[in-house]
């Protein structure tokens, strides 16, 4: 139970603003363990573009579905492009897709039921995380595998659902389902001559065994804690290939791996050259991954600067540069809150989550109004994270100052303060002395 | 001895143009608006008083050059708060500089050099010296290599200084080796005397401060002793920061440049990259001739590059050492070399260039970049025709 402070007779937050507490966090940075409120409407047109480029277009192809793309935020109002909701979009959509193998999403985009039935797909999300020792692509993608396995439709883990589909498809012997799947998986893996996996390797064998049996918790524990960092770095992609073969056996036709915080790879990875070679070979040259799995990387200008040296120049991986028109079909550029509607929807959804039960409000934006929300959207130049931070700070200040009505004159000084955090791009003007 | 004392502004020349162009919109502005302009240019927040002293120093220099009128300027942050809205007004000469900058940026930089030359005695002394011969500044950055081999760690130095001791013999001998000449008795005597005073002043700090922090500050103070003394005979007896400021100016004006990457010199070599013709017994500048600009240096570039490469006597040579030798031999700017390398890195029928990408960061302050890559090692091969 949180503490209560003695502040006169009125608890402004509850009694006047109609909120259980301030719904806006000081630093709304996404993490899977602290997901926050997800409002897909805030992405505007880019939401559909995200599905079109990374899912619908690939699914129209019979083979060679792979996209190596990027989710960008190049928005000129914020030269760093952070806080545009890239991580949240990747992770939350992956979770939603995995609940019913993408059926609801395809239906939303007008795909016919028969096609939906024949085209189940999944998506995984992972991030380079120094703290968790996820410093190589293989380790990161293995995290995405766990993400997919653990995804749930609210009833059971996707791992079990995939397993069940395999049992039906291979007509597994009752009581010996795990063994039947293992046999089928080994057979499937042997189909790919380029796939050089040592199936007798103790860790590989243990992984396959757990993947094929029905204890998801044990499988996840094994991947997280029993595959050591060295094995992850050296053989991690093999586990991903095995998992992809497992997905194919379950009739999954397509998988997208979203990779977040790619600039951390450049900062922390010890053997970048080796890792990149393995990455290129694994994602572009090795079946079944090369035809069936897409890889979408989170990008912003700082990340591009960090990786540009080695990405396309050294390893000839497909360029992720958003400024090159040739890459358009593989890149989605989030623009932030471009319309007042996107901003009001985002604010209203956050406020609704903390609204005091039964509290009657004239507007769903109460204690704010549309003018205030629009003024904030403009002041932060559409950056969703800054927008939420501003709303939270203003709400805290209003409550602290016992301000019953939050109006524009009250809000303005806080916006002025933000406008001083310049988002102006560097001047185009050149001041240096030209070469003689 | 330098004839006069001088106060060279610790600024970037391009900031002077940035600052003065603020007056384009309005003939009168304030220090605060200049500060904001600098913040925006550097992509920093406008809040607080960031860059207040940069704005002030630029305005002071512009006033010294007769380009604006403002009267007095704040000495510290507190005074800045009181004076930040004070009006600064552009002069007709200032407007002429803006017009020139808009029409011909190179000419504006040349004009700025001539104007600063006229008002800064230190700059005049420096120009006269660097036009005669290159300078070797024994900048002290390493305890072991530049002070004394006795000091393998910061702790050893701070222990010695705490007892008002320093291996001055080691320092003098290393300095002589670095400047490639013996120190005169007068130089030795003034250096030793200044070091004695420094040790008196620093003994307490050596005990109370962290050895690494203390050592960093101590090395800066040693630079302020050694550099003025070894340059005293050339009339360049000013502090290390002033030398650094002048090295930076030269690169912006494209008139001289400095490098610490030349393998033949254990220190910073400063050499001219243009010819400055002086008039009135060196009191004013008659003309500036950029005789080693892009065009001249670009002629037969690969041959010149090969000659510089041969001097390094190795198969693969560090890109920055190659650049330093090339620029020193051809009296050109690093930026000229970089541009020419960008144009010629594919080689020719006669010369083949092999470049190794440099992936680690921070080894050199100005890496050689070709395309999107930092170049670490270079090999130049002359083909058998």
Average pLDDT over residues B77-94: 92
d(Cα A123, Cα A293) in Å, to the nearest integer? Answer: 9
Residue A424 per-residue DSSP state: P
Q: pLDDT-derived band of residue B374, with 50, 70 and 90 as boundaries?
A: confident
Q: Is the pLDDT of residue B364 over 60?
A: no
Residue A303 · residue A78 · CB < 8 Å: no
Omega of the bond prior to A288 within 30 degrees of 0, cis?
yes
Which among A158, A149, A150, A204 is positioned nearest to A182, based on CA atoms?
Answer: A204
Tell me, letter by letter, the H, E, C secondary structure of B288-343: EECCCCHHHHHCCHHHHHHHHHHHCCCCCEEHHHHHHHHHHHHCCCHHHHHHHHHH
Does residue B101 sit in helix, strand or coil?
A: helix
- For position B301, what pLDDT does the model report? 96
- For position A306, what pLDDT does the model report? 67
Q: Is the pLDDT of residue A270 over 90?
A: no
Residue A160 · residue A216 · CB < 8 Å: yes
Between strands B275-279 and B284-289, the pairing is antiparallel
Q: Which residues contact B342 (CB under 8 A, 6 or more apart)?
A: B370, B371
Least confident piece of the model among A151-165, A225-239, A411-425, B277-291: A411-425
Chain B partners of A417 at a C-beta cutoff of 8 Å? 47
Which among B171, B219, B178, B213 is positioned nearest to B198, based on CA atoms?
Answer: B219
- For position B189, what pLDDT does the model report? 96
Q: pLDDT-derived band of residue A423, with 50, 70 and 90 as boundaries?
A: very low
Chain A partners of B374 at a C-beta cutoff of 8 Å? 309
Helix (H) / strand (E) containing B14: helix B13-20
Q: pLDDT-derived band of residue A283, with 50, 70 and 90 as boundaries?
A: confident
Higher pLDDT, A383 or B46: A383
Tell me, letter by letter, the H, E, C secondary structure of A103-167: HHHHHHCCCCHHHHHHCCEEEEEEECECCCCECCHHHHHHHHHHHHHHCECCCCEHHHHHHHHHH
pLDDT digits (tens, 9 = 90+) for A116-135: 999 999 999 998 876 666 77
Of all residues in chain A, the one with the smallest CA distance to B42 is A426
Q: Is the pLDDT of residue A271 over 80?
A: no
d(Cα A419, Cα A380) in Å, to the nearest integer? Answer: 7
Residue B219 · residue B143 · CB < 8 Å: yes
Token code pair at residue B123: 């700059």
Round the average pLDDT of chain B to a whole number and report it: 91
CB contact under 8 A, B46 and A422: yes
Least confident piece of the model among A98-102, A264-268, B228-232: A264-268
Q: Is the pLDDT of residue A200 over 90?
A: no
Token code pair at residue A217: 């918790």
Average pLDDT over residues A321-339: 88
Q: pLDDT-derived band of residue A428, with 50, 70 and 90 as boundaries?
A: very low
Chain B partners of A420 at a C-beta cutoff of 8 Å? 45-47
Neighbouring-strand partners of residue A31: A34
d(Cα B366, Cα B346) in Å, to the nearest integer? Answer: 22
Higher pLDDT, A45 or A419: A45
Phi then psi for B348, rounded to 5 degrees? -150, -175
Number of A:B CB contacts under 8 A? 67
d(Cα A14, Cα B82) in Å, to the nearest integer? Answer: 44
Least confident piece of the model among A26-30, A186-190, B19-23, B329-333: A26-30
CB contact under 8 A, B374 and A435: no
Q: Which residues contact A81 (CB under 8 A, 6 or more apart)?
A: A72, A73, A74, A75, A300, A301, A302
The percentage of residues in chain A with a pLDDT greater than 70, rounded to a whole number, is 88
Token code pair at residue A162: 């995939």
Higher pLDDT, A264 or A218: A218
Among the partner residues A79, A420, A431, nearest to B46 by beta-carbon distance? A420
Distance of CA A38 to the CA centre of its chain: 12
d(Cα A93, Cα A323) in Å, to the nearest integer? Answer: 26
Rounded alpha-carbon distances, angstroms, from residue B115 to B65, B236, B284: 7, 20, 9
Chain B partners of A425 at a C-beta cutoff of 8 Å? 43
- For position A99, what pLDDT does the model report? 95
For the sheet with B28-30, list strands across it: B28-30, B87-90, B68-69
Query: How big is chain A by its Cα radius of gyration, in Å?
Result: 24
pLDDT digits (tens, 9 = 90+) for B259-270: 999 999 999 999
- For position B47, what pLDDT does the model report? 67
CB atoms within 10 A of CB B153: 13
Angle value at C-alpha A299, between A298 and A304, nearest 5 degrees: 140
pLDDT digits (tens, 9 = 90+) for B186-216: 999 999 999 999 999 999 999 999 999 999 9
d(Cα A316, Cα B207) in Å, to the nearest integer? Answer: 55
Of all residues in chain B, the one with the smallest CA distance to A79 is B43
Among the partner residues A314, A417, A420, nearest to B357 by beta-carbon distance? A314
Helix (H) / strand (E) containing A414: helix A408-419
Q: pTM of this prediction?
A: 0.55
10 Å CB burial of residue A402 (0-12, 13-18, 19+) is exposed
Q: pLDDT-derived band of residue A429, with 50, 70 and 90 as boundaries?
A: low
d(Cα B98, Cα B233) in Å, to the nearest integer? Answer: 39
CB contact under 8 A, B40 and A436: no
Omega of the bond prior to B355 within 30 degrees of 0, cis?
no
Token code pair at residue A36: 């926050």
Which among A382, A375, A317, A340 is positioned nearest to A74, based on CA atoms?
Answer: A382
CB contact under 8 A, A79 and B43: yes
Among the partner residues A422, A433, A436, nearest to B40 by beta-carbon distance? A422
Does residue B270 sit in helix, strand or coil?
A: strand
Average pLDDT over residues B161-175: 96
Chain B partners of A422 at a C-beta cutoff of 8 Å? 39-40, 43-46
CB contact under 8 A, A309 and B372: yes
Q: Is the pLDDT of residue A427 over 60?
A: no
CB contact under 8 A, B43 and A426: yes
Residue A288 per-residue DSSP state: T
Residue A253 per-residue DSSP state: -
Of all residues in chain B, the one with the smallest CA distance to A428 is B41
Chain B partners of A421 at a C-beta cutoff of 8 Å? 45-47
d(Cα A122, Cα A247) in Å, to the nearest integer? Answer: 9
Chain A partners of B41 at a C-beta cutoff of 8 Å? 426-427
Which residues of B lie closer than 8 Å to A, measured between beta carbons?
Answer: 13-15, 17-18, 21, 39-47, 105-106, 109, 252-254, 274, 290, 293-294, 333, 335-336, 339, 357, 359, 371-374
Average pLDDT over residues B331-353: 93
Residue A172 per-residue DSSP state: P
CA distance A426 to chain B (A): 5
- For position B285, what pLDDT does the model report? 95
Average pLDDT over residues A171-187: 90
Query: How big is chain B by its Cα radius of gyration, in Å?
Result: 23
Which residues of A lie closer than 8 Å to B, measured between beta carbons?
Answer: 79, 272-273, 308-310, 313-314, 417, 420-422, 424-427, 429-436
Among the partner residues B45, B254, B372, nearest to A313 by beta-carbon distance? B372
Q: Is the pLDDT of residue A370 over 90?
A: no
pLDDT digits (tens, 9 = 90+) for A286-299: 888 888 899 999 88
- For position A4, what pLDDT does the model report? 66
Distance of CA A252 to the CA centre of its chain: 20
Residue A241 · residue A289 · CB < 8 Å: yes
Average pLDDT over residues B303-322: 94
- For position B149, what pLDDT does the model report? 92
Higher pLDDT, A192 or B116: B116
Residue B381 · residue B310 · CB < 8 Å: no
- For position A424, what pLDDT does the model report? 41
Chain A partners of B47 at a C-beta cutoff of 8 Å? 417, 420-421
The ipTM estimated for the assembled molecules is: 0.88
d(Cα B290, Cα B296) in Å, to the nearest integer? Answer: 9
- For position A9, what pLDDT does the model report? 47
């Amino acid at each position: 139970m949180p503490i209560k402070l003695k502040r006169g007779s009125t608890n402004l937050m509850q009694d006047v603003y109609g909120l259980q507490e301030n719904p806006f966090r000081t630093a709304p940075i996404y993490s899977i363990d602290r997901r926050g409120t997800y409002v897909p409407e805030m992405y505007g047109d880019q939401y559909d573009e995200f599905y079109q480029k990374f899912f619908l277009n690939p699914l129209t192809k019979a083979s060679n579905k792979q996209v190596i793309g990027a989710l960008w935020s190049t928005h000129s109002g914020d030269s760093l492009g952070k806080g545009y909701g890239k991580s949240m979009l990747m992770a939350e959509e992956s979770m939603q897709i995995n609940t019913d193998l993408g059926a609801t999403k395809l239906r939303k985009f007008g795909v016919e039921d028969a096609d939906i039935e024949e085209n189940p797909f999944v998506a995984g999300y992972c991030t380079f995380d120094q703290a968790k020792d996820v410093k190589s692509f293989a380790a990161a993608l293995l995290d995405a595998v766990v993400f997919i396995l653990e995804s749930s439709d609210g009833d059971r883990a996707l791992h079990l659902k995939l397993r069940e589909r395999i049992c039906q498809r291979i007509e597994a012997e009752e009581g010996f389902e795990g063994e039947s799947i293992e046999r089928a998986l080994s057979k499937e893996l042997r189909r790919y001559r380029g796939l050089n996996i040592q199936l007798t390797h103790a860790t590989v064998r243990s992984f396959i065994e757990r993947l094929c049996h029905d204890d998801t918790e044990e499988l996840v524990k094994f991947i997280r804690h029993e595959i050591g960092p060295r094995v992850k770095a050296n053989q991690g992609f093999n586990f991903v290939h095995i998992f992809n073969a497992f997905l194919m056996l379950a009739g999954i036709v397509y998988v997208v791996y979203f990779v977040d915080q790619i600039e951390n790879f450049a900062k922390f990875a010890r053997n970048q050259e080796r890792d990149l070679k393995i990455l290129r070979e694994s994602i572009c040259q090795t079946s079944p991954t090369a035809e069936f799995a897409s890889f979408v990387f989170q990008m912003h200008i700082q990340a591009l600067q960090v990786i540009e040296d080695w990405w396309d120049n050294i390893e000839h991986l497909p360029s992720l540069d958003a400024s090159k028109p040739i890459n358009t079909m593989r890149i989605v550029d989030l623009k932030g809150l471009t319309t007042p509607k996107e901003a009001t929807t985002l604010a209203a959804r956050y406020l609704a989550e903390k609204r005091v039960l039964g509290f009657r409000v004239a507007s769903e934006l109460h204690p704010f109004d549309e003018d205030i929300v629009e003024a904030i959207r403009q002041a932060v130049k559409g950056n969703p994270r800054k927008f939420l931070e501003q709303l939270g700070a203003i709400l805290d200040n209003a409550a602290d100052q016992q301000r019953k009505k939050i109006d524009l004159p009250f809000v303005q000084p806080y916006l002025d303060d933000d406008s001083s955090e310049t988002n102006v791009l560097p001047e185009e003007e050149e001041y240096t002395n030209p070469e003689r | 001895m330098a004839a006069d004392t001088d106060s060279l502004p610790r600024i970037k020349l391009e900031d002077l143009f940035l600052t003065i162009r603020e007056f384009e919109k309005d003939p009168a502005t304030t220090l605060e608006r200049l500060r904001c302009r600098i913040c925006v240019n550097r992509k920093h927040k406008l809040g607080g008083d960031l860059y207040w002293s940069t704005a002030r120093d630029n305005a002071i220099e512009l006033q010294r050059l007769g380009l604006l009128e403002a009267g007095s300027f704040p000495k510290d942050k507190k005074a800045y708060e009181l004076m930040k809205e004070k009006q600064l007004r552009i002069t007709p000469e200032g407007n002429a500089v803006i017009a020139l900058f808009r029409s011909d940026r190179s000419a504006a930089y040349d004009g700025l050099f001539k104007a600063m030359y006229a008002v800064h005695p230190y700059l005049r002394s420096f120009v006269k010296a660097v036009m005669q011969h290159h300078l070797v500044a024994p900048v002290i950055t390493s305890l072991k290599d530049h002070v004394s081999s006795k000091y393998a760690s910061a702790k050893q130095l701070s222990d010695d200084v705490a007892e008002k001791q320093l291996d001055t013999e080691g320092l003098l001998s290393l300095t002589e080796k670095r400047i490639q000449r013996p120190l005169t008795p007068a130089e030795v005597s003034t250096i030793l005397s200044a070091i004695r005073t420094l040790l008196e002043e620093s003994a307490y700090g050596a005990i109370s401060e962290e050895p690494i922090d203390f050592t960093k500050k101590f090395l800066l103070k040693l630079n302020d002793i050694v550099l003025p003394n070894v340059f005293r005979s050339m009339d360049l007896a000013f502090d290390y920061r002033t030398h650094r400021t002048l090295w930076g100016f030269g690169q912006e004006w494209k008139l001289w440049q400095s490098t610490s990457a030349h393998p033949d010199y254990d220190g910073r070599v400063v050499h001219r990259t243009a010819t400055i013709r002086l008039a009135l017994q060196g009191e004013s500048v008659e003309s500036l001739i950029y005789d080693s600009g892009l065009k001249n240096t670009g002629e037969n570039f690969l041959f010149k590059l090969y000659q510089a490469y041969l001097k390094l006597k190795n198969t693969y040579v560090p890109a920055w050492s190659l650049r330093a030798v090339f620029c020193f031999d051809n009296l050109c700017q690093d930026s000229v070399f970089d541009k020419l390398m960008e144009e010629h890195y594919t080689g020719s029928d006669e010369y083949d260039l092999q470049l190794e990408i440099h992936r680690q960061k921070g080894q050199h302050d100005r890496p050689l970049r070709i395309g999107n890559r930092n170049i670490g090692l270079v090999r130049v091969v002359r083909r058998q025709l």
